């Protein structure tokens, strides 16, 4: 009986079409995690894999569906760290692969919430489970196989009892005890089958719900990107409009000055004509030449002055760029020195704490507890907002806006100068579902923003 409790551990790898591409013992997988060996066919890929518990009758008793990244040389990600045994022991009820319902852990059925981002769901048609069963039965890993024990005497005696009853049933009433036993066996089998069908249905629904949630988040990301592009286009259009308006004002001022100069010249010319009615053609020519010379001199003077201002402006910009470049270099050096000091002082202690099995867990408002790897602690301390935004796959600015919305879910539309609407809105629980200028707007001002975006789309098509 002790041998039956022996469990073999293995890891099976799948490609994007859920076909088995590699299988290995868990001890070999540990060598891959320790960078003793690499897997060349997995270079620069995120691979779907399944960690299995297999009994001595080559039947799967537990399965953990996880994902792992490999670098350009085929080595596993150093930051990858999942408690596979813990997840296998705490898994939910899964399909029967020969040894009764398996203990199943996957993305939609994970007992540790902060690990579900590194997991995946099997297909709803159970093709993956059938392939796992076939791989284990094929036994390319040469796992030890032990024949199951003979059926208990109580089970063996049932057919004989049925035979005896059959032989003695001519004109004799069927034994009540046997009838009750057969009924109980049938009801137990029916209950077991119903439970398996129910669990399969729950697993399929959880998988479809997870896929739908990912699709919704993808649509939210695309909507945010499109909104961001339209907003940037609108800002550029506003800036161009402002610049053109300023140019028109300056041009109008210049034209007004030139018109005033021409008016004064014309009045002076008329005064000259009134003073002397006997002006000859030579005198007129001299006046015209003088007027043209004065006008050209005025234009050249104004042009030279503008050029000088532009050159001075370019010099100022050049010096400013040099100063900015120097400041950036200083900031970069200071950051490197800071990272070096942190690595010398605190990273060794952090690594010792991590090796001792202590996890760094962060609790943020509206979010699940998040485990911070030891290598990322310093990055998190430098900028928690940037770290969390990168973890959820959103921009830091959007994550900050979501935090403000989560702490105070009101309409932020600006009205009457610097005042905001302040109307309560529905709280968005995740940053991936938050849309700036949409989720933090009431129904009135949200519709107004949609109208502006629709107008911008129509102008682009035109």
Task: Report yes or no on whether pTM surpasses 0.85.
Answer: no
End-to-end CA distance of the chain: 79
DSSP 349: H
Neighbours of 440 (CB within 10 A): 24
Query: Tell me, what's the pLDDT at 298?
Result: 84
Give the chain's residues under pLDDT 50: 1-4, 150-162, 165, 170-171
Residue 209's alpha-carbon distances to 99, 110, 115, 198, in angstroms, are 28, 14, 18, 16
Query: Tell me, what's the pLDDT at 354?
Result: 67
| Strands 98-105, 46-54: pairing kind | unpaired
Query: Tell me, what's the pLDDT at 170?
Result: 46
| Strands 98-105, 60-69: pairing kind | parallel
Query: Tell me, what's the pLDDT at 155?
Result: 43
Residue 363's alpha-carbon distances to 99, 360, 388, 431, in angstroms, are 40, 10, 11, 15
Neighbours of 55 (CB within 10 A): 22
**Residue 183: helix, strand or coil by DSSP?**
helix
Query: Tell me, what's the pLDDT at 5?
Result: 66
DSSP 357: T
Backbone angles phi, psi at 277, to 5 degrees: -80, -10
Enumerate the H helices of 276-365 as residue ranges: 281-342, 348-355
Please give the Cα distance from 148 to 155 (Å, whole number). Answer: 15
Query: Tell me, what's the pLDDT at 251?
Result: 86
DSSP labels for 154-209? HHHHHHHHHHHHHHT-TTSPPPHHHHHHHHHHHHHHHHHHHHHHHHHHHHHHHHHH
- Residues 231/449, Cβ–Cβ less than 8 Å: no
CA 196 to chain centre: 34
Query: Tell me, what's the pLDDT at 141?
Result: 93
pLDDT tens, residue by residue, 326-374:
888 888 888 887 777 665 556 666 766 766 667 677 777 666 677 777 7
Query: Tell me, what's the pLDDT at 165?
Result: 47
- Residues 107/65, Cβ–Cβ less than 8 Å: yes
Query: Tell me, what's the pLDDT at 159?
Result: 47
């Amino acid at each position: 009986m002790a041998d039956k409790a022996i469990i073999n551990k293995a890891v099976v790898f799948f490609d994007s079409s859920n076909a088995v591409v590699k299988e290995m013992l868990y001890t070999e997988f540990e060598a891959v995690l320790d960078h003793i060996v690499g897997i060349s066919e997995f270079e620069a890929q995120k691979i779907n894999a399944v960690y299995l518990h297999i009994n001595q009758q080559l039947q799967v008793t537990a399965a953990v569906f996880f994902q792992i990244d490999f670098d350009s040389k085929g080595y596993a990600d150093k930051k990858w760290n999942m408690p596979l045994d813990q997840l296998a022991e705490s898994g939910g009820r899964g399909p029967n692969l020969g040894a009764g319902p398996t203990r199943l852990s996957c993305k939609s059925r994970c007992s540790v919430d902060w690990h579900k981002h590194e997991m995946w769901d099997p297909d709803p048609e159970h093709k993956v489970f059938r392939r796992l069963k076939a791989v284990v039965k094929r036994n390319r890993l040469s796992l030890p196989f032990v024949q199951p024990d003979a059926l208990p005497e109580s089970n063996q005696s049932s057919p004989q009892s049925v035979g005896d009853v059959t032989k003695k049933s001519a004109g004799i009433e069927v034994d009540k005890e046997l009838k009750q036993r057969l009924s109980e066996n049938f009801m137990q089998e029916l209950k077991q089958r119903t439970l398996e069908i129910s669990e399969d249905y729950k697993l399929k629904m959880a998988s479809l719900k997870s896929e739908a949630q990912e699709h919704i988040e993808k649509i939210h990301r695309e909507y945010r990107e499109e909104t961001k592009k339209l907003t940037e286009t609108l800002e550029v259009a506003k800036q161009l409009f402002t610049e053109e308006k300023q140019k028109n004002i300056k041009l109008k001022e210049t034209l007004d000055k030139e018109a005033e100069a021409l008016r004064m010249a014309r009045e002076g010319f008329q005064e000259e004509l009134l003073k002397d009615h006997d002006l000859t053609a030579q005198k007129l020519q001299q006046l015209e030449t003088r007027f043209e010379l004065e006008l050209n001199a005025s234009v050249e003077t104004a042009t030279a002055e503008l050029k000088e201002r532009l050159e001075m402006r370019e010099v100022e910009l050049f010096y400013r760029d040099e100063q900015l470049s120097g400041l950036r270099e200083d900031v970069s050096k200071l950051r490197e020195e800071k990272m070096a000091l942190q690595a010398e002082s605190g990273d060794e202690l952090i690594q010792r704490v991590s090796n001792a099995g202590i996890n760094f867990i962060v609790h943020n408002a509206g979010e699940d507890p998040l485990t911070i790897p030891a290598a990322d602690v310093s990055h998190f301390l430098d900028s928690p907002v940037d770290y969390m935004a990168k973890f959820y796959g959103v921009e830091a600015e959007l994550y900050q806006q979501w935090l403000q919305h989560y702490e105070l879910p009101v309409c932020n539309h600006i009205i009457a100068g610097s005042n905001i609407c302040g109307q309560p809105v529905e709280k968005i629980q995740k940053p991936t579902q938050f849309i700036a200028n949409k989720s933090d707007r009431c129904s009135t001002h949200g519709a107004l923003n949609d109208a502006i975006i629709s107008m911008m789309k129509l102008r682009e098509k035109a």
